Amino acid sequence: MSGPTRSPTLADVADAAGVSLSTASLAFSGNKPVSDATRQRVLGAAESLGYTGPNPLARNLRQGRSGVVGIAVGQLSTAFRDPAALPMLDAVSEVLGAAGLGLLLMGDEDDHARLPLDAVIYDICGRETWAAYDAFVARGIPLVVVEGPTWPGTTFVDIDHRGGSAALARHLHDLGHRRVAVLTLEPSHPQRQREAGLRDVFPDAVVIGACASDHGAAQQLASDWFDSSPDATVLVCQSDVQAAAVVVEARRRGLSVPGDLSVAGFDGVPTPWLDLELTTIAQPLGDKGRAVARAALARIEGDDVEDVLLPVTLRVGSSTGPA
Amino acid sequence: MSGPTRSPTLADVADAAGVSLSTASLAFSGNKPVSDATRQRVLGAAESLGYTGPNPLARNLRQGRSGVVGIAVGQLSTAFRDPAALPMLDAVSEVLGAAGLGLLLMGDEDDHARLPLDAVIYDICGRETWAAYDAFVARGIPLVVVEGPTWPGTTFVDIDHRGGSAALARHLHDLGHRRVAVLTLEPSHPQRQREAGLRDVFPDAVVIGACASDHGAAQQLASDWFDSSPDATVLVCQSDVQAAAVVVEARRRGLSVPGDLSVAGFDGVPTPWLDLELTTIAQPLGDKGRAVARAALARIEGDDVEDVLLPVTLRVGSSTGPA
DNA sequence: TTGTAAGCGTTATCAC
DNA sequence: GTGATAACGCTTACAA
């Protein structure tokens, strides 16, 4: 019965098993063949010593890797409020997890300089978040940016915001719409691209306001807009959450969608509380996440990686109709 | 001009600055006083060598800490689909971030054995997630469990599910309700406690089904229930997401809430797409997150930590009325 | 298949 | 206030 002693190390296990340190290491890692007999002896010794496997910290230093990838998402609460964020996060986590890597959430406020990160993913985040950017580049940490403006030395994964928006605009034009209003996102790379796509078809589209992809904010903007007796026949939103909020507000005022007003969104997420299907641009959220994760993995391996541009799909629902 | 050389270490910086390794270390960490002059010399040398600060991996090994806390949340996509999850995650992240620690998302599927974690938080997750539990205990990693069944050697943070549900039940009883139906969560610690609280007042409450806190699933269950011509005057749900779905379905069928049916929820999250305020049990999500994070920090420091039980508040809205 | 030895880049202890 | 030196616990050439 000894006192509270330090936890056993691989060296202790090796001693107990009567083998060398390197052999014990191999018994655990399997990086080189070890005879069955000795492996059993090592594992047995580990078991009886209460050794739970190689210390990750030591391994990390030795291998120069932490096995952790950071993901910057701006403010957590707002970042995940939009359901479009989740399938992508899920896919990222799945691919990284399968490769044995963990995913670390990075808030805007935090100081990440001391965190052991093998790569960092920037997911649709605003200017503030870019602050730490240069520091990571200086540390030589691979960066993967989702839906951000291009930047040298970084891998980019994006969707065809502009093409998708233009396709939607053509659909609306075909339906006879000519007076188009837009509810945009706050200034960002996606916002600019999506607006540009819309203007490819409707150069005179009127922006009625900008807000986050948040139900409350969008409904308020819609309410103000309805109060102004607008003459547009369609309101194009830059997210489904916004579009759903507009539909709710229209209904609240006794307006019919799409009878009195057509409404369109962006993303292609479920809105089960609406009894109509939004017309929207569906983006491949899972594919996007997988592309991001794969890019991060490749960059960690030191491989060169091509930027990725994913296609989107116009999904015509029942929230748009003839002008 | 040399070829692609290894990145500079603290030893290189010390040499360049003409000081010892230990002094250079202190210049960065500030753990002991260093004269201003030498500090400047060290930082200058670092600057010109392109040294970006002490290698986190090395520091981690030396200090026996990774600066990373894991949080197990089951399936990511489902875990964050309920808006109640976010304010808590936000609070956890904020407190840990302020202490310089990162938060790592742990999916159910992944193998976390090789991740360098200083502590692990278990957030309302099912049995499956508990699989890795014993491994962490064996590794001596502090565990903090949110809304889970107690388990030796672990710190618990919970809310008063039972008391809250009982308070709601009394409110309903006061309104004259006697025939009570329940839409529960899938079997879990919170589910059992909340149901127990309800039965403290209504022992004969009828469970009409169980599902995740997901709009689509709850609406489907509600739909089936309405089809069965129920005679209950109130439907108590175990989350606001469920309750909102029930309200939507009731409306869709031309039923008035609370005229034809009273509906109650749990959590106290905003449901802006409803034009009524849910009667619900509001839980202090931010407080819960902060308590969890503080417990994790204390456990990492080796301190003893008391379990935490947070109070909840009955918030009477317009979704409940006289029987 | 197994053993020897050299680091990985820090921080902490101790003396000066 | 500064400097030498010993860990931290492991992986991986290289040798046997």
Q: Which residues of A fall within a CB distance of 8 Å from B219?
A: 272-273
Residues paired with residue A282 on neighbouring β-strands, in sequence order: A267, A313
Q: Please give the nucleotide, over all strands, whose C1' is closest to the CA of residue A61.
A: C8
Say if the Cβ atoms of B56 and A86 lie within 8 Å: no
- Find out whether A72 and A115 touch, Cβ atoms under 8 Å: no
Residue-level pLDDT at A110: 78
Full 3-state SS string of B94-123: HHHHHCCCEEEEECCCCCCCCCCCCEEEEE
pLDDT in tens, chain B (323 residues): 444 578 999 999 999 999 999 999 999 999 999 999 999 999 999 999 999 999 999 999 999 999 999 999 888 878 888 899 999 999 999 999 999 999 999 987 778 888 999 999 998 766 666 667 888 888 999 999 999 877 788 999 999 999 999 999 999 999 999 999 999 999 989 999 999 999 999 999 999 999 999 999 999 999 999 999 999 999 999 999 999 999 999 999 999 999 999 999 999 999 998 989 999 999 999 999 999 999 999 999 999 999 999 999 999 999 999 98
Residue-level pLDDT at B3: 47
Give the C-alpha separation, B225 to B228, whole Å.
Answer: 5
Convert the pLDDT of each residue in B6-48 to its tens digit. Answer: 899 999 999 999 999 999 999 999 999 999 999 999 999 999 9
List, in order, residues 6 or more apart from B120 with CB less than 8 Å away: B69, B70, B71, B72, B106, B112, B136, B141, B142, B143, B144
Residue-level pLDDT at A113: 83
Interior/surface letters A171-186, b for 16+ CB within 10 angstroms, e for the rest: bbeebebeebbbbbbe
- Find out whether B169 and B147 touch, Cβ atoms under 8 Å: no
Per-residue pLDDT at A211 exceeds 80 = yes
Nearest C-alpha in A relative to B253: A275
CA(B95)–C1'(C12) in Å?
28
Give the C-alpha separation, B69 to B119, whole Å.
Answer: 5
Residue-level pLDDT at B124: 72
Nearest residue to B185 (alpha-carbon basis) of B214, B212, B224: B212
Say if the Cβ atoms of A248 and B273 lie within 8 Å: yes
Q: Which residues of B fall within a CB distance of 8 Å from A111?
A: 97, 100
Distance between A201 CA and the closest CA of chain B, angstroms: 32
Per-residue pLDDT at A4 exceeds 60 = no
Average pLDDT over chain A reads: 93
Handedness of CA A187, A191, A193, A198 (dihedral sign): negative
Say if the Cβ atoms of A67 and B114 lie within 8 Å: yes
- Delineate the domains of chain B, giving CATH numbers in brackets: 10-54 (no CATH), 68-159+285-312 (3.40.50.2300), 161-282 (3.40.50.2300)
pTM listed for this prediction: 0.94
Say if the Cβ atoms of B68 and A215 lie within 8 Å: no
What SS3 state is found at A13? Answer: helix
Residue-level pLDDT at A1: 41
CA angle A10, A15, A19 (to 5 degrees): 90
* Nucleotides in chain D with any atom closer than 7 Å to protein CB: 1-13
Give the C-alpha separation, A42 to B186, whole Å.
Answer: 43
Give the C-alpha separation, B5 to A106, whole Å.
Answer: 30
The mean-pLDDT minimum among A186-190, A251-255, B256-260, B313-317 falls in A186-190
Residue-level pLDDT at B126: 64
Phi, psi of B281 (to 5 degrees): -100, 110
Say if the Cβ atoms of B94 and A107 lie within 8 Å: yes
Residue-level pLDDT at B289: 97
CA(A300)–C1'(C2) in Å?
33
Residue-level pLDDT at A75: 81
Distance between B269 CA and the closest CA of chain A, angstroms: 12
